[in-house]
Structures are given as C-alpha cells and as structure tokens.
C-alpha cells in the first residue's frame, strides 16, 4: 500500500475510533431493567455497563427515588448505583442522566412499577403439591419459527441427542391439560434463560443473560404468560435458577466488572465435586476451596458470591423473576457449590419479601448425615444455618434406584426405603423433603427397572404416598428408558406428539401403547387421589420393618389413615396376617384401595407379587 494512503487510512481509523469512544459513553445495559415500589428492602442496586461509563457522573431527579451511592469498580466500563425507593414513589420511567460537569452526555432508565396485589403473600409449593419436571427443549414444539434464531450460536439439530430440538414455552402451555390430567399441581422447568452457547445449549444451565428468556423458548412476556396461565389453573411454577455459574459466553465474560466477579485460577480448575468437605469438621481449607470455587464445567465459569456486588446481582435477579412473572417456587441448581453464606443471605432476603415462598435446593448428597447440614435450623457444629427449607431427597432417590431390583436382606430391597426413612430423626423438617425416583441428570426409572411396569408402579406408589413432596420426571409415564450414566441426551427424549409431523401422539390415549396407558392411568389415579388427601400431605408416618419381602407403612393424621403395602417378591403373592399392625389397625375396621376401589377387611390381606396396595382405612 502507498505510504500516504496508509497514513490517511490510519487517520480515518483513529477518528472513527475517537468518535466511537465519545458515542459509546452511554449505558448499553442497566440491570435490573425494572424494579418495584413497596419491597421490605427499599433499595435496588443497578449494574450499569457502557464503554467508559465510569467517567460520567450519574444523576436522578425522580420524586421518591434517590441515588444514595455510586460505586466505582476496577473496570471503568461499569458503575453500580444504589437507589433508594420510597413507598410513596409513583410508577413511571426513572431516568438516569450521565453527565460530564453540567452537561448530560447520555441517558438511561429503569421502569418503576407497582407490585401486584398480594405479591408478598404468594403461596409457595408445599406438601399439598406434586411436581412435574419438564425439560423445555424436549417436551413440545408449538412454534417452529423460533427453533433457530438468527445471530445465536446454536441452531436446530433434532438428530443430535445433545442438540437443540425446538421445544418451547408455548408447547408446554398448550399441554397443561395433560399435566393436570396426571394429577400434578406444580411444574418445574429446567432453566429457560438465554444460553447462547455454541453447543449443548438446550439444557439451559449455562446462562448467558440472567434477564432474558432464551428466544428459542419464547420471550420474557411468553414466560410471564405461561406462569399466568398456570396460576389461573392452580398450577404453581417453579423456576430453575443457577447461582453457582454462568455460561462461558455470558456477555460479561469479555469484560468483567472486577477480577473476582468469578473465581479464577491460573488454568482451568474444576471443582473436586466432594460436597462432604463443606460440612466436614476435619476438611482441609484447600479442599473446601476447590469444592466451592472450582468450576463446575469448562463452559461454566464459577460465580463468586463472596463478591458483594455479584451476590446482590444474583439476589435481585431472583426477586426480579419472582415479581415479574408471578413464580411460586425456585429450584436452585448445585446448591452446595457456591459460597454458603451468600446462599443463606439470599434465602433470608427472599423470606423477608415473600414469607411463604418456597425454595428447594439441589443438594446432591446421598447420605442423610451429610445432607442435613443444608436444611434450615439444623444445629450444625460450625453454627451455619442455611435457612433453606426444602431439600431434594437424594438419599431416597438413591434407594429407589435399587430397592425393587433386589431381594430382601439386612440392608437391601425394601429395607433401603425403610432405612432412609429411619434417618428422618436427623431432619427438623422431614415433610420438607422433595421425593423422586429420577430427574434430568439420572438414569430413567424404566432403565434401572429394566422396563418392568410393575416396578415403575411400585416406585410411583411410594413417591406419591411417602412423607414429603413428590416429583416426577416427564416421559416416565410413557416408560421412557435411557441410561443417564452413558448419555444425558438419552434421558432427555422428545415427548412423542410434541412435534409437528410426529407419527405418534402420546399426549392422547389412542397414541399410547397398552402398557403406557396402564402407567398413565395408574399415575393419574394416584396423584388425583393425593391431591385431596390431607393425610398424605401432612400426616405422620408409622412403618414396620419389611418381613417376607413385604413392607407396610402408614400415614396418619387425626382419625384418618392410609396404609401402603408393598410386596417386592418377583413371582409370589404374599398373604399377610394383619395382626402384626395391631398398634394402629385396632382403630380401623376396613379399607378401600385407592386406585382399584377394592374393599378389604383387615384380618389378612394378599398383596400380589411385585406390587403395591394403597388402602384408605375406615373405622
Ligand atoms: Ca420451537
């Protein structure tokens, strides 16, 4: 290139860059984008992002809103603004002027809103609920137009088990009748926020924008509409949130506010995934650090909740979604991995704003002695109180994967279920366990039960009647198989009939096989019954050690009682002499099986091989 031309070009480039830098001194992002009047905590902290934004001085003149503090951080492209919102403030657009001297260089705003009536008093999920878990990419594709979105890193590939399959919020919304027909009262969706990752973005756990629903699932408005529709039907929506990590393509990863916004190491350092370290009185600091500060996966940078600004960002984000969309619960991912004190602060803040709201933690620990560390009010030696009310019952899930496959022994077969319940002496709130046989990370029930419908029904009967809140994973009513240890893709199948052109529509009776219908009908009878059964919601438990492969337990409350009898023998029916249960049966004269309606007297009862009877007792 000619030398003079090169000089001219450089001059132009410099001028363009100069103009761009002037032009860029404006907020590109202000988060949260809106807030509400009338929270217990009247403050909101705004994250403002824009090139060189910290060289400008923000100012707000809005009645009832004051800018209390401006926080500068290492990165000049960020400002954090503490706003105080008086209960007398009126809804409207709160403008923020960014000034140099007296001259306004740029402006931004947030919307200030009135809270919905009764917002603070909303009821969370509780023992009266039964939760249906859906992976949104894999349930139903109502809108093919959003399957691939221009400018996003991953498109549609339904042939790849780890690809995006096109399911969306509208698809789920259109099948709420189906979910309700099964007797479920609450829906937990795997994360729906933007995951603009180049691969495996379908599962939703690598969030790239905490304030945006992934457009391949729908818009923020669509999510709100989904929650509204559910609420008007009496279905509670549980949002899956992730405080431990974000996606590697999160917008802030190119330009972090502070070096310790995320946990960084000289090179990629995964967590040791040894959750016992956190509660372990003898654990080495280095091990605890690695558990909680190591990354969950290469594509998931670890968020540092010890950074107050980061912690506030996440806490406000969860409140924003609750208030914006009308949620009734949160399932928090990888609960023991982030800073535990930050997590406790989060729960306390939520309970301050929403005293009856519910959070369940994914606490993947299969021993009750270790799991109980994470339940509210447990007298931990180190003084830690998580304040977390609901725990995923992983010890029970672990037992359920084995119990129906084994013969009777000191610690095998149904004795496993008995022993997990026996550990309830540890829990202050045993009714607050969420009970499940599988989720989106585990092998499908039908996989570990070898497709045996009888075992599936026994597991369903147990989950529906044992203390706690039952949770079911979509598709297992169709006996879907899949080995979670081999492939996560394989346990997250498309629901047949959810896609245009599907040959089979399993949302209808006609589209299902006989055994699928048997499972669907059984599940539906069980959970419809449970819906109205206060004794199953709140009742106490009495159980008798398994004998001759028969396990008998009772739920009782006042005069009401339900008796569950399970025969784990593969081929022999068992005639049970009921006098063994005299200490409770003395109060009752007869019973009715809740699925079949069959009447029983209480002298002897024959439990068919590999089956469960659920008998409501009468005087
Ligand atoms: Ca779609």
Tell me the CA–centroid distance for residue 216 and ligand 1, in Å.
6
Active site positions, annotated: 333, 362
Distance CA 405, CA 412 (A): 9
Tell me the CA–centroid distance for residue 135 and ligand 1, in Å.
13
Distance CA 190, CA 158 (A): 18
Beta strand 540-547 with 433-436 is unpaired
CA atoms within 13 A on the CB side of 331: 26
Distance CA 613, CA 334 (A): 36
Question: Nearest Cα to 316, choosing from 125, 80, 52, 97?
Answer: 80
Distance CA 466, CA 416 (A): 14
Is the pLDDT confidence value at 217 over 90? yes
Q: Binning pLDDT at 50, 70 and 90, where does residue 14 land?
A: low
Tell me the CA–centroid distance for residue 499 and ligand 1, in Å.
9
Is the pLDDT confidence value at 105 over 90? yes
Give 81-98 pLDDT, tens digit per residue.
999 999 999 999 999 999
Q: Residue 70 class from Cβ within 10 Å (0-12 exposed, 13-18 middle, 19+ buried)?
A: middle
Tell me the CA–centroid distance for residue 500 and ligand 1, in Å.
10
Backbone angles phi, psi at 273, to 5 degrees: 55, 25
Give 507-548 pLDDT, tens digit per residue.
999 999 999 999 999 999 999 999 999 999 999 999 999 999
Mean pLDDT estimate for the chain: 96
Buried b (16+ CB within 10 A) or exposed e, 227-245: beebbeeebbbbbbbbbbb
Tell me the CA–centroid distance for residue 139 and ligand 1, in Å.
10
In this predicted structure, what is the pLDDT of residue 23? 58
User: Do the beta carbons of residue 471 and residue 188 sit within 8 Å?
Assistant: yes
Q: Residue 307 class from Cβ within 10 Å (0-12 exposed, 13-18 middle, 19+ buried)?
A: buried
Mean pLDDT, residues 38-63: 98
Tell me the CA–centroid distance for residue 215 and ligand 1, in Å.
9
Query: 233: which 2 tokens?
Result: 């039907």
CA atoms within 13 A on the CB side of 145: 3
Which 3-state string (H, E, C) describes 175-209? CHHHHHHCCCCEEEECCCEECCCCCCHHHCCCCCE
Radius of gyration for the chain, computed over Cα atoms and rounded to the nearest angstrom: 27
Peptide bond preceding 32 in cis form (omega within 30 of 0): yes
Report the predicted TM-score, pTM, of the whole model to 2 decimal places.
Answer: 0.95
In this predicted structure, what is the pLDDT of residue 1? 46
Give 111-167 pLDDT, tens digit per residue.
999 999 999 999 999 999 999 999 999 999 999 999 999 999 999 999 999 999 999
- Calculate what percentage of the chain has a pLDDT beyond 90: 95
Tell me the CA–centroid distance for residue 416 and ligand 1, in Å.
42
User: Do the beta carbons of residue 206 and residue 193 sit within 8 Å?
Assistant: no
Distance CA 489, CA 161 (A): 4
Tell me the CA–centroid distance for residue 138 and ligand 1, in Å.
10
Query: 553: which 2 tokens?
Result: 């337990």
């Amino acid at each position: 290139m000619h030398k003079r031309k090169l000089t001219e070009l450089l001059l132009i480039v410099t001028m363009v860059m100069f103009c761009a830098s002037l032009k860029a001194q404006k907020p590109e992002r202000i988060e949260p984008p809106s807030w509400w009047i009338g929270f217990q905590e009247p403050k909101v902290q705004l994250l403002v992002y824009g090139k060189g934004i910290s060289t400008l001085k923000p100012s707000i003149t809005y009645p009832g809103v004051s800018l209390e503090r401006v926080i500068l951080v290492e990165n000049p492209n960020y400002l954090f603004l503490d706003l105080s919102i008086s209960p007398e403030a009126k809804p409207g657009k709160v403008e923020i002027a960014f000034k140099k001297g007296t001259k306004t260089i740029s402006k931004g705003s947030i919307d200030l809103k009135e809270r919905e009536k009764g917002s603070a008093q909303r009821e969370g999920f509780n023992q009266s609920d039964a939760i249906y878990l859906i992976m949104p990419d894999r349930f139903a594709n109502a809108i093919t137009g959003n399957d691939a979105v221009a400018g996003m890193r991953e498109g549609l590939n339904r042939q790849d088990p780890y690809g995006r399959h096109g399911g969306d919020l509208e698809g789920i919304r259109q099948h709420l009748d189906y979910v309700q027909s099964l007797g479920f009262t609450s829906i937990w969706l795997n994360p729906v926020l933007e995951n603009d990752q180049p691969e495996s973005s379908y599962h939703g756990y690598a969030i790239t924008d905490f304030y945006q629903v992934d457009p391949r699932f729908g818009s923020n408005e669509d999510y709100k509409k989904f929650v509204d529709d559910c609420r008007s039907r009496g279905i509670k929506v549980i949002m899956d949130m992730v405080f431990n990590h974000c996606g590697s393509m999160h917008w802030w990863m190119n330009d972090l506010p502070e070096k310790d916004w995320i946990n960084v190491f000289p090179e990629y350092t995964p967590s040791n995934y040894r959750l016992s370290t956190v509660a372990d009185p003898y654990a080495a600091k280095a091990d605890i650090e690695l558990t909680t500060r190591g990354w969950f996966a290469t594509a998931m940078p670890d968020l540092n909740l010890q950074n107050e600004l980061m912690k506030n960002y996440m806490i406000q984000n969860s409140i924003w979604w609750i208030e914006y969309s009308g949620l009734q619960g949160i399932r928090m991912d990888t609960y023991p991995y982030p800073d535990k004190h930050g997590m406790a602060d989060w729960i306390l803040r939520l309970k301050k704003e929403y005293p009856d709201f519910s959070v369940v933690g994914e606490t993947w620990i299969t021993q009750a002695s270790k799991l109980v560390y994470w339940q509210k009010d447990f007298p931990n030696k180190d003084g830690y109180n998580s304040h977390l009310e609901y725990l995923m019952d992983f010890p029970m899930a672990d037992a359920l994967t084995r119990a129906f496959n084994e013969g009777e022994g000191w610690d095998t077969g149904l004795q496993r279920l008995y022993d997990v319940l026996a550990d309830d002496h540890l829990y202050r709130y045993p009714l607050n366990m969420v009970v499940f046989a599988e989720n989106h990370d585990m092998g499908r029930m039908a996989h570990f039960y070898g497709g045996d419908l009888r075992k599936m029904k026994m597991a369903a009967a147990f989950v529906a009647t044992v203390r706690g809140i039952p949770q079911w994973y979509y598709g297992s009513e169709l006996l879907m198989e899949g080995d979670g240890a081999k492939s996560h893709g394989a346990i997250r199948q498309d629901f047949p009939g959810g896609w245009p052109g599907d040959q089979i529509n399993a949302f209808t009776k006609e589209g299902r096989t006989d055994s699928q219908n048997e499972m669907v009908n059984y599940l539906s009878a069980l959970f419809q019954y449970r819906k109205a059964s206060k004794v199953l919601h709140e009742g106490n438990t009495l159980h008798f050690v398994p004998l001759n492969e028969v396990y008998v337990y009772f739920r009782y409350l006042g005069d009401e009682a339900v008796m569950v009898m399970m025969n784990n023998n593969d081929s022999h029916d068992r005639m049970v002499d009921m006098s063994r249960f005299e200490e409770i049966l003395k109060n009752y004269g007869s019973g009715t099986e809740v699925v079949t309606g069959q009447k029983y007297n209480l002298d002897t009862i024959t439990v068919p091989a590999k089956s469960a009877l659920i008998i409501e007792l009468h005087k």
